[in-house]
Structure 1
Amino acid sequence: KGKHDKDKPWDDPSIDHWKIEKFDPSWNESGLLDVSSFSTIFPQYREKYLQDVWPTVKAALREHGISCELNLVEGTMTVSTTRKTRDPYIIVKSRDLIKLLSRSVPAPQAIKILDDEMQCDIIKIGNLVRNKARFVKRRQHLLGPNNSTLKALEILTGCYILVQGNTVAAMGSFKGLKQVRRIVEDCIQNKMHPIYHIKILMMKRELAKDPALATENWERFLPQFKKKNVQKKKGKGKEKKPYTPFPPPQQPSKIDQQLETGEYFWSEEKKSTKMRQEKEEKQAEKTAENKRKREAAFIPPEELVMQGHNSATDSKGDVSSMALSLKQKSKEFKKQKSSANHVDPQAYIAEAPAKKIKSFKS
């Protein structure tokens, strides 16, 4: 026990195990012993685009010693190692490249997966929700209005995110991909809305700037979002009928009805005559109804009657009272006119005051 517990060369605290070093061809000068290849299919709508960008993809893979082939007949893309391949992991990166191209990722963005610092993750979301309408609605939550939610997630996680069909393709660091997978699954499973994840990521970014909080737990600073079970309004259901253990009576068939009326024993000529009469009656009813609809357009609408003038007696009474009032007013006007013609002017002239006579003493 403990026989092989010896210090290893890489057990040095000065070594950063999370650092990704760039591959040096001198590490593997002899190359690979065997040929490895990967193939993937692509949808038909990507055929035209892949034909246009395939020279660019081929040139990018040739730099790493990888050969590629585009088969338009079978609809496949294939990558394989060659004698010039030195990096053994580059074939896995090439496999991820053709996967991203088949998932509608643009070629300039997909070629970045060949870098050592870039990783990718394709998240399958189609089988997380059964209801198609609910799935489409929750997938829209990831995008947000004018793709604003998706852009915010890309900035905070540092990853490229593309929502396409039943999958979500993400490219970035391992830490960012882990956050993106959690956000996407919580959104599709309706555990938490992406807006709440965005708020948490923004608070974590601010807390990371403080060196005093680097070794502390941040749970007390982060908001706690509890899912609320909102009760839906219950619609008016169907009225329950009284329960009866006996089944409903069997309805009479067409032959039973014909036997009751005696029509079953009629001759073919009589049956055809009755059918013709019924058809003519239906046609006559339909013709009359169509005629009534056509004539309805020529019927004048009913005139609205003012309130208080509904009956003839009321209107007569109003006219007579109006005539009497007009007669009285004309008599008063004539009296005023006659009095104006016989005006006494002396009534409007003021009398002059009498002068006092002074007496002179002799």
Structure 2
Amino acid sequence: LLTNCYVLVQGQTVSALGPYKGLQQVRKIVEDTMKNVHPIYNIKALMIKRELAKDPKLKNENWERFLPKFVSKNISKRKQPKKKKEKKPYTPFPPPQQERKVDKELATGEYFLSKEQKRVKKQKEKDEKHAEAAKKRTEKRNEAFVPPEEPSTSKKEADIGVDVVALKEKILKARKGSKLFNKSNV
């Protein structure tokens, strides 16, 4: 309706019939659509242009200020996985065939055990697993109750490295030199 053209879209083919100006507009819309621009943007611009063409005052002016400006957004790329799997080197030979259950039992000697013995053995293995799991669980629970290490409360003795004998002699000399102290007072 906006371009006065008949437009037919079939798959990736577009055919249009109409006046030359209309065909130019259709071509622009189709090419933008192929460039991943939604056609509604171009259709909206065409509608605004048609309204502006009707107004005699704005007929000869530049219409750029009236047309909407659509900023193309950068579409985020496909999210890359954090852990990339490294491809294993290609080997033309298939992997070796796995042993059957019977072969494994023959190798371990379980094949010749009676059903009762097999059941008892399975039960023992189960009990061992349960005991191990219980032990781990209790250790994990008890971790919360272990008190943190406290800093040692014993005060560090100040080691100044004072020679007691030398200090005593120094005091005695000071007393002798002073008039206040006599030998009798000491």
- Normalising by structure 2, report the TM-score: 0.47
* Structure with greater contact order relative to length (CA < 8 Å, sep ≥ 6): 1
- Normalising by structure 1, report the TM-score: 0.28
- Structure with greater strand percent: 1
